[in-house]
Amino acid sequence: MHRSDQLSGMRRQYQAHSLLERQAPEAPLVLLHDWLEQALAHEPPPSEANAMTLATVDEQGRPHCRVVLLKGIDARGLVFYSHHGSAKGQELAGNPRAALLFHWPALERQLRIEGEVEQVAGEEADAYFDSRPLPSRLACWASEQSQVISGRGELEARLALAKYRFLDAEPPRPQGWGGYRVIPHSLEFWQGRADRLHDRLRYQLTAGGWRRERLAP
């Protein structure tokens, strides 16, 4: 366990990049694409540049977060996949709003996104599911995500059953598994700078389009 004085003394001097208004496009999704491409190119293994923390809220108003993988992005929003019966799926069914956080330490950047959430169309989910490796598709049939199980042996037995069931056929997408699209209404781009004077640009969607503003670090 770390001693408190070790933790309080941990600091990093950020100086790799800057984020000035003249560098930032009017449309936040353009900047999002640029930052994501740079992260894919510069975040070293085993880092996953498409990993993002997803925060949801349950029916009691308690927040929950976990790391998921970004699997699609376009003008409509950002897409990830999961079981609809999982904890996150149930929370999104009750409150279809979410927050996302990307952290790209090699680039000294964070990106916060907030928005509404919708399920992707079945055809889109089918296409992604069919592109996954066979073991991943079989695992979707074996696991009832977030449900209590008796042990690892139960999970392995379910996987063996799924392998037998689809021995001579390609496993289709399970009915309870699919995609979610986060439709952003707020994006905050954070760029680490020297002496904690970080750059923070926030885009918020208004009736007239995107409004960009600088926030104090």
Label residue 6 by pLDDT band (50, 70, 90): confident
pLDDT for the residue numbered 184: 98
Percent of the chain topping pLDDT 90: 83
Label residue 1 by pLDDT band (50, 70, 90): low
pLDDT tens-digit map of 93-116: 999 999 999 999 999 999 999 999
What integer is the mean pLDDT of 71-84?
96
Q: Say how far apart CA 110 and CA 192 lie, in whole Å.
A: 8
The residue extents of the domains of the chain are 17-131+176-214
pLDDT for the residue numbered 132: 96
What integer is the mean pLDDT of 123-138?
96
Q: Say how far apart CA 100 and CA 116 lie, in whole Å.
A: 11
Q: Is domain 17-131+176-214 classified as CATH 2.30.110.10? A: yes
Give the active site residues: 196
Label residue 2 by pLDDT band (50, 70, 90): low
pLDDT for the residue numbered 38: 95
pLDDT for the residue numbered 10: 85
**CB contact set of 187 (below 8 Å; sequence gap of 6+):** 28, 32, 111, 112, 113, 114, 202, 203
Cβ pair 96, 117 in contact under 8 A: yes
Three-state SS string over 157-172 comes to HHHHHHHHHCCCCCCC
Whether 124 shows a pLDDT value over 90: the answer reads yes
pLDDT tens-digit map of 152-203: 999 899 999 999 999 999 999 999 999 999 999 999 999 999 999 999 999 9
Instruction: Please give the model's pTM, rounded to 2 decimal places.
Output: 0.91
